[in-house]
Amino acid sequence: MVTPDQYRVAFDPMLDRMTLGFAVAAVFLTAWWNLQPKRFMGFWLKPPYKPLTVTLFRVFFAANLIGAISYLTGEMNRYRRPMYQYRAAAEVAVAWIAVIWVMVTAMSWLARRRDQTNRP
Question: pLDDT tens digits for 13-61?
Answer: 899 899 999 999 999 999 999 999 999 998 888 889 999 999 999 999 9
Q: Left, alpha or beta for 45 (phi > 0: left; psi -120 to 50: alpha)?
A: beta
Is the pLDDT at 120 greater than 70? The verdict is: no
